[in-house]
A and B are shown apart, each in its own frame.
Chain A
Amino acid sequence: MKYFYLCVSIILSELYLILKLGRYNDDFDDGEDIAEFDDNDFAEFEDVSEDPAVDVEKEPPPRAAPSSTPIEDDEDEATVENEDGQDEFEDADDQDMYSKYDNEEFEGYEKTNPSFKNTLIYREVPAHLQNSWESYYMEILMVTGLLAYIMNYIIGKNKNSRLAQAWFNSHRELLESNFALVGDDGTSKEATSTGKLNQENEHIYNLWCSGRVCCEGMLIQLKFLKRQDLLNVLARMMRPACDQVQVKVTLNDEDMDTFVFAVGSRKAMARLQKEMQDLSEFCGDKPKSGAKYGVPESLSILSEMGEVTDGVMDNKMVHYLTSHAEKIESIHFSDQFSGPKVMQEEGQPLKLPETKKTLLFTFNVPGMGNTSPKDMDSLLPLMNMVIYSIDKVRKLRLNREGKQKADRNRARVEENFLKQTHTQRQEAAQTRREEKKRAEKERIMNEEDPDRQRRLEEAAQRREQKKLEKKQMKMKQIKVKAM
């Protein structure tokens, strides 16, 4: 009985093993068992509610394509094919799954499959290939800036031109009644009045008037602000400035006595005293307050001597200065006018600068930059003052004492100047002599023939000795004279 039970158990276990192995093999087997496996594979996807008939119908058609290929393959490559087959089955599975979902269950449902989206990489399109103007915003900004500059140029130029014309229109009558020649650019053959301003710049206008008693000519410069330059306009927002009218009257020698005088705003006087050649030489004292002479405190006076100030500041002049104090920047009368100090290079012998008898007026146009053409009329009284000054200076003569003082001043300045130049000239001569000596020595050294060398050396020595003797003689003579 025991043997029977043992045999039965062994047989049963073997059968069980065989069956298990067989099932494993069956999994990789294609062909006949597919239909069975289909049912098993899809068993888990089959829902109770679903119509099994539909599933069955769906499965065979997609099965037909992948199943045909594995059947034809050899048994040796069974595993590879099986795997392929299985992949195909899996794809087919997925297809079936989605088709099943799309049709039956998911209407309007967007299932996001993260595995697909993770693999997408968004590349940035280079800016210039994008069809958008927004990426070029810097360029648009630049071009806008340029357009703004051009607009400002046109507007500024026109404004300056209008102001100049307004000035000329208001002053034309006065000038034409005082000068034979009004407006000359110096290029025409005959001296005829052009009757218009000479434009030097977009912000500077000139007018030359000539042909009058007491003066050689008068140059009027309208120095407006650079309204045509946007940078300047922006700079003026930080630091306000105003338009200026500069009048320079050049006189003949007989038209003016010898004196130097200046009156103007305190700042301008301080600046001019440092800058101007003649004011720094002849008016060494600090600017005096104008209050002493009945003129507003804001004005200060630089003068060569008190007599000059008393002579210039008569009642009418004081009246002019008082009523137009804010428009007056500076008034400068000088017989030694040579312009601002010129910085000379060292070692250059200075020449006495050319001087000319000049009256220089600088007026500020009211409005501090925001000038309108109407403001130009307010400068007319100042032009009257200029004409009055020309006539006055002609009549102003220093007394004997004043004249002597003035002459002494001029002599002193000239002497100082010559002294300065003398030392410079001496130095220049000394350097020249040293260079000559060096050149000679070099020549002697370079001589190959020893005889000639000796002879040249002796000649040089003799020359030096002669020079020393001459100097000694001179010194002796001076000593004798002194004694």
Chain B
Amino acid sequence: MTANNMADPRRPSKIFRYKPPNTETNPTLEDPTPDYMNLLGMVFSMCGLMLKLKWCAWIAVYCSFISFANSRSSEDTKQMMSSFMLSISAVVMSYLQNPQPMSPPW
């Protein structure tokens, strides 16, 4: 028995459960990209809706995609879906109000 114990380093009695690191005390560990992109997406989609700017709406769609790609699995999908829907509605509304194609800035 003792020989086995010596050779085998495993100790089932010394098992500790996994505790996810507390990100509130260490904000540097968190990646702020998805939150920033979410906010940016909402701002651009509001601009696109209010000011009827097509390029704003398209950028909002891109922002929500980027936010989704960088999001953590623990994050709420509702927030992601809402920003998604908002940006797509901004694009659709801009085109319904003015079906003309988007002119390039140059």
Contact = CB atoms under 8 A, between A and B. Distances in A.
Contacts of B65: 146, 149-150, 153
Given A202-B69, A212-B9, A186 B17 contact: yes
A430 interface: no
Contacts of B62: 145-146, 149
A186 B25 CA distance: 20
Contacts of A229: 66, 69-70
B101 A191 contact: no
B70 A226 contact: yes
Contacts of B73: 199-201
Interface string B44-84: 00000000000000100110011001111110000000000
Contact of B14 (A201, A212, A230): A212
B72 A201 contact: yes
B100 A213 contact: no
A230 B66 CA distance: 8
A139 B104 CA distance: 10
A142 B59 CA distance: 9
A361 interface: no
Interface in A179-197: 179-181, 184-186, 191
Contacts of A60: none
Contacts of A128: 99-101
A138 B102 contact: yes
B2 to A, nearest CB: 13
Interface string A434-458: 0000000000000000000000000
B72 A184 contact: no
Given A128-B99, A186-B19, A201-B73, A142 B12 contact: no
Contacts of B14: 180, 210-213, 216
Contact of B18 (A139, A149, A208, A213): A208
Interface in A130-157: 135-139, 142, 145-146, 149-150, 153
A231 interface: yes
A323 B82 CA distance: 51
Contacts of B17: 184, 186, 191, 210
Contacts of B70: 201-202, 226, 229
A58 B36 CA distance: 87
Question: A interface, how many residues as a size bin?
Answer: 35 or more
B103 interface: yes
A307 B71 CA distance: 46
Contacts of B9: 178, 212-214
Contacts of B11: 180, 211-213
A351 B28 CA distance: 18
A138 B72 contact: no
Contact of A200 (B19, B26, B28, B74): B74
A244 interface: no
Contacts of B26: 339-340, 342
Question: B interface, how many residues as a size bin?
Answer: 20 to 34
A210 B11 CA distance: 8
Contacts of B99: 128
B10 A200 contact: no
A127 interface: yes
Interface string A117-129: 0000000001110
Contacts of B28: 340, 342
Interface in A241-261: none
A159 to B, nearest CB: 14
B20 to A, nearest CB: 6
Contacts of A226: 69-70
Nearest to B105: A138
A231 B68 CA distance: 13
Nearest to B34: A201
Contacts of B12: 180-181, 211
Contact of B15 (A139, A149, A180, A200): A180
Contacts of A184: 17-18
Nearest to B98: A128
B95 to A, nearest CB: 8
A330 B38 CA distance: 34
6 closest pairs, A vs B, by CB?
A208-B18, A186-B18, A211-B15, A180-B12, A138-B102, A184-B18
Interface of B: 8-20, 25-26, 28, 58, 61-62, 65-66, 69-74, 99-104
Given A153-B69, A210-B18, 7 more contacts: A128-B100, A201-B70, A202-B70, A211-B13, A211-B14, A231-B66, A342-B28
Interface of A: 126-128, 135-139, 142, 145-146, 149-150, 153, 177-181, 184-186, 191, 198-202, 208, 210-214, 216-217, 219, 226, 228-231, 339-340, 342
9 contacts: A146-B62, A184-B18, A201-B71, A208-B18, A211-B11, A213-B9, A213-B11, A214-B9, A217-B18
